[in-house]
Amino acid sequence: MPTNTDTRRGYRHYCPSARTLEVVGEKWALLIVRDLLLGPQRFSDLRQGMPELTPKWLSTRLRELEAAGLVVRDQHPGRREVRYALTPKGRDLAPIIEALMAWGVEHALSPPEPGQPIHPGRAMLGLAATLNRRGTRLDRPATWGVDLGEAEHYALHWDGARWAVDREGADSDLRIASTPEQWMRFITADPEGRRRERASLELHGSPGHVAEFDAVFGLADDHQAA
């Protein structure tokens, strides 16, 4: 089993969770993994998503994650830019990130403040994690395309067992158009607030797929009656 020989950072405590925190417990480390779960990203992409993280600390954390075998540099001949990607070992942290996100949506998240920046990809990851935590299911596999602004297009998939998110392809059973702010207000609202926020969403799909969407968010009776 790998060990952390730097006693300043190690817990010196024989426990799997302590060993895990020795690898990814430093500030920003898990948030870098979170953003890379959506796919390879450039240094500038990671900086844009976490503007409070200085270039020096981002470089340090990326080197540490590379050394731990969680992140790899993705650089192809003829392409000047370096992209950072998760290794299989790094992607194995996905359930931890999902659990943190689902707990945050359930217990620590409130609607965004006016002007507060929102990262659409994180909002989508948090939604998928919350649906999985709640055991939300559909009767059939489906893909929802979610458009949250220019170049912010995502696919929320239900494969019959789990919800997952990726950058959106062309095919979807239902298309949802919103802004990141409206989307987060809809997701984080209480039942009464969610009924109000539903009017801000544009849904395009068959009546059956729209009804599935409303059922997932506890609004089926309202819109069936309407």
| pLDDT higher than threshold 70 for residue 5 | no
Tokens representing 150 are: 């220019």
Q: Within the chain, which residue ranges are assigned CATH 1.10.10.10?
A: 16-91
Angle between helices 29-36 and 55-67 (to 10 degrees): 80
Confidence of residue 224 (pLDDT cuts 50, 70, 90): very low
Q: What is the average pLDDT score of the chain?
A: 87
Structure tokens belonging to residue 100: 């943190």
d(C-alpha 213, C-alpha 205), whole Å: 10
* Average pLDDT value for residue range 49-61: 92
Model pLDDT, residue 222:
54
- The residue-averaged pLDDT of 212-218 equals 94
More confident residue, 80 or 177: 177
CA distance 109 to 111: 7
> Does residue 163 register a pLDDT over 80?
yes
Delimit the CATH 3.30.1050.10 region(s) of the chain. Answer: 94-225
Residue 64 has pLDDT above 50, yes or no: yes
Quick count: other Cβ atoms within 10 Å of Cβ 91? 15
Q: Is the pLDDT of residue 111 over 90?
A: no
Which residue type occupies 130? T
Which tokens is 98 given?
A: 């999902």
Q: Is the pLDDT of residue 1 over 70?
A: no
Output phi, psi for 136, to 5 deg: -70, 135
Confidence of residue 225 (pLDDT cuts 50, 70, 90): very low
Answer yes or no: is pLDDT of 116 > 90.
no
Instruction: Quote the percentage of the chain above a pLDDT of 70.
Output: 92
**What's residue 9's pLDDT?**
61
- Of residues 106 and 224, more confidently modeled: 106
Average pLDDT over residues 116-128: 86
Non-local CB neighbours of 112 within 8 Å, separated by 6+ positions: 118, 181, 184, 185
What is the C-alpha to C-alpha distance for residues 43 and 74, in angstroms, rounded to an integer?
A: 11
Q: Which of 46-50, 87-91, 106-110, 168-172 has the highest mean pLDDT?
A: 87-91
Q: Which residues contact 81 (CB under 8 A, 6 or more apart)?
A: 42, 75
Span 94-225: which CATH code?
Answer: 3.30.1050.10
Q: Provide the CATH topology of domain 16-91.
A: Arc Repressor Mutant, subunit A (1.10.10)
Which pLDDT score is estimated for 170?
62
Structure-model confidence comparison of residues 118 and 129, the more confident one: 129
Is the pLDDT score of 17 beyond 80? yes
CB 98 within 8 A of CB 129: yes
